[in-house]
Amino acid sequence: MARSNKPIVWGLFAAGGTVTAFFVPALMVVLGLAVPFGLLSPNDLSFDRVYGIVAHPLGRLILFGFITVSLWHAAHRTRTTVHDLGISNDGITMFICYGVAGLGTVLAAVFLLLL
């Protein structure tokens, strides 16, 4: 039997799952709790400050990695969920899911470069 090529998308999927599992709760605490409850001053998240972090080359690189692997995670999970639901049209599902993730990857790169 031939070995599968799925490690390519699964690698991105696994990376996306790990990254979002670690970073999304932290983001939720900072943006959803710390700022509204006054634990962080609103100035800490001022536009200029956040822009400074994001626009830094390292900031852009980290953000690009975070956005793309999260997109590929969502794409692969959606594809497998469609399969779990018994819809066997894998070619079309793959095209749509990975197409959206691919487009998102390109757009993320473009927007981050233009920042």
Interface contacts to another protein, rule CB under 8 A? 1-4, 6-8, 10-11, 14, 80-81, 83-84, 86, 88
Distance of CA 71 to the CA centre of its chain: 4
User: Least distance to another protein from the beta carbon of 6, Å?
Assistant: 4
Q: How many CB atoms lie within 10 A of CB 68?
A: 21
1 or 58, CB closer to another protein?
Answer: 1
User: Least distance to another protein from the beta carbon of 93, Å?
Assistant: 12
User: Least distance to another protein from the beta carbon of 64, Å?
Assistant: 20
5 or 43, CB closer to another protein?
Answer: 5
User: Least distance to another protein from the beta carbon of 73, Å?
Assistant: 12
Instruction: Please state, in angstroms and rounded to a whole number, the distance separating the CA atoms of residues 75 and 84.
Output: 14
9 or 63, CB closer to another protein?
Answer: 9
Backbone angles phi, psi at 38, to 5 degrees: 75, 15
And the tokens for 100? 């959206």
Query: Whole-angstrom distance between the N-terminal and C-terminal Cα of the chain?
Result: 47
